[in-house]
Amino acid sequence: MAASAYGRLPLNALRVFEAVATRLSFSEAAEALNVTPAAVSQQIKSLEDYLQIPVLRRSGRKVELTPEGAKLLPAVQAGLDALVVALRETRMTRASGIINVSTLSSLMQKWLTPRLQRLHTKFPELRVDWHTSREAVDFSRSDFHAAVRLGESVSPGLDYEHLMDEWLVVVASPELFKRHGSIDDRDTLKGIPMLQARDEPWSRFEKSAAPTPWPAGPTIIDDSVSVLSAVIEGLGYAPARWSIAAHDLLSGRLMLASRTIVPSRFRYWFVCPPAYSDLPMVCALRGWLKEEAKSFPTPEAWLKQA
């Protein structure tokens, strides 16, 4: 298409049309775009004047797409998405500046934070803006360069590398461990206070040396790190992911309450869009994470040294 034709395209009107069409509300679209409803109406009118057909039908407060508008909407969304991706990739293909990375809050607090000084020492020019979330990252609609996730597999279309495996272990505070000892040495778990995170239940240890069924009604906390904090305070024994328990085990704030190690079906992955895979910032961070993961002891190796 010639440059003069691009110049006549009602790009702002198309953006407004997408906002109205996805909400079916002029007022909500105006609020989302931070303009007045009158400005929204004017842009829709200019688009319809350009097309010489109506794309929206209004009846009082009710807004509907015309057949032509319904056909136009997916193409407009695809075009806007392509523009967003192109602009973001252009803005992010720099060799310096901030790299935006999403990771799990539990991994951030218990595994990454104790290691960040080594990252800063090795790459003093690398600035990482860490965000914590469990949700899958939509790289096409966000500013993230990469993410670290725990899962069985990786979403299609992403570059990825396996960082490390995961295991479940049973932990207790030193004080509580002195009182009750290892669960491997007991004929019954009666009398032991029990905690669990929603994602790390006691049921994973049903094949351990401890007898089953497990006592009913252990306290459940919907956060892995909060469970560890409760264990450190002496409130109970609990299963925990090795990656987030190891730091407190090594420091003596926690004790391993069973020699049974349960492999997790989940693994940690470093993922990023192919367009960012070769960025110097991404390569530096990915390489550092792989080195740290490689030097991180497995629970079996730690048990041999303990």
pLDDT of 190-231, one tens digit each?
A: 888 989 888 888 887 765 444 444 554 567 788 899 999 999
Mean pLDDT for the stretch of residues 243-263:
94
State the pLDDT confidence band at 96, using cuts at 50, 70 and 90: low
The share of the chain scoring above pLDDT 90, in percent, equals 57
- Provide mean pLDDT across the span 81-88: 78
Task: Assign 2 a pLDDT band (cuts: 50, 70, 90).
Answer: very low
Mean pLDDT computed over 278-291: 93
Q: What is the CA radius of gyration of the chain?
A: 27
The larger pLDDT score, comparing residue 25 to residue 4, is at 25
d(CA 305, CA 151): 29
Is the pLDDT assigned to residue 243 strictly greater than 90?
yes
Choose the most confident range, by mean pLDDT, from 6-10, 75-79, 80-84, 302-306: 75-79
Going by DSSP bridges, is the β-strand pair 195-197/219-221 parallel, antiparallel, or unpaired? parallel
Of residues 212 and 303, which shows the higher confidence score? 303
Lowest mean pLDDT among 131-135, 223-227, 248-252, 275-279: 275-279
Question: In this predicted model, which residue has the larger pLDDT, 238 or 58?
Answer: 238
How large is the average pLDDT for residues 143-165? 92
User: Is residue 267 pLDDT above 50, yes or no?
Assistant: yes
Considering 72-81, 104-113, 207-216, the range whose residues carry the highest mean pLDDT is 104-113
Tell me which of 89 and 36 has the higher pLDDT. Answer: 36
Region 151-162: mean pLDDT is 91
Q: How confident is the model at residue 1 (pLDDT cuts 50, 70, 90)?
A: very low
* Token reading at 41: 């109406």
